[in-house]
Chain A
């Protein structure tokens, strides 16, 4: 009972009762591995198939990658929504925010500058820069 009052270390399992919970922890890792393999295989299929509309492939790959990152966080790093891992989740949420700002902000700003740098007189050059 005293344990549950503390924050949990990131990567630690919820239970410290080794003998009772050993098989289920093994099961958690195995489920994580199976789901991650399925998602990776789907990603490879999505990248190579001709069944899908090409414009949707990027979106599908992004969704599959984000899903797999979530699987890794939950099943391998044992991030949970429990009250004892609030600090870990808050730190993670801040990290995700910074990652989003850095990636989306960079792409937005550079794409905007690329558009504004285009001059009408050098149209062939500017189209080459865009592609």
Chain B
């Protein structure tokens, strides 16, 4: 039997495993570490969700969620964040095929949608505080502002990170280092959208339907 044919017939499973093939590429190691960080961040959000679920009925005679939440604002926020997650995915496609113009356009749309989301959320918070539904009013409102505000803070940090990354693309080009950081950013942005699904369901939709 020809030895080349014999090698071709070795099934994929017979190849040396990852540990025998030497250390993994830096792209895999870096993003895996960031994946662990994201999971720990989601565990922190789980603690905030748990405290919100415990305190949601402790309104101390103050306004309840059904009286405060405006569903159309929340729907626009959801659409903005979902579309920005989509454009972030398209941006990472452009990065992988090294198209600079598409990368900038994707980043710009992601940035704009994220900024719309954040401004709507800040406006919602300010209008709630204006009618006396501030965080110090009741335990429910403290938990609400902590949970939703923490998500909004993450979005704000993500927007700053995206601006910094675009400066890095302009200065360093799409080098391997910049590409790794952009991959971490897209992981962060998609994870924030997953957390928002939880916020939308637990805080807003369950709040107005109860």
Contact = CB atoms under 8 A, between A and B. Distances in A.
B49 interface: yes
A5 B21 contact: yes
Interface stretch (B120-128, B156-164, B168-176, B192-200): B192-200
Contacts of B82: 33, 36-37, 40
B200 A43 contact: yes
Contacts of A119: none
A106 B93 CA distance: 41
Contacts, number: 151
Contact of A69 (B49, B96, B198): B198
Contact of B183 (A12, A64, A88, A95): A12
Given A44-B71, A61-B205, A72-B190, A9 B183 contact: yes
B209 interface: yes
Interface residues of B, number: 58
A50 B185 CA distance: 41
Contacts of B190: 11, 72, 76-77
Contacts of A95: 39-40, 42-43
A51 interface: no
A6 B93 contact: no
A58 B92 CA distance: 36
A6 to B, nearest CB: 5
B38 to A, nearest CB: 8
A107 B50 CA distance: 7
Interface in A1-42: 1-2, 4-13, 18-19, 22, 25-26, 29-30, 32-33, 36-37, 40
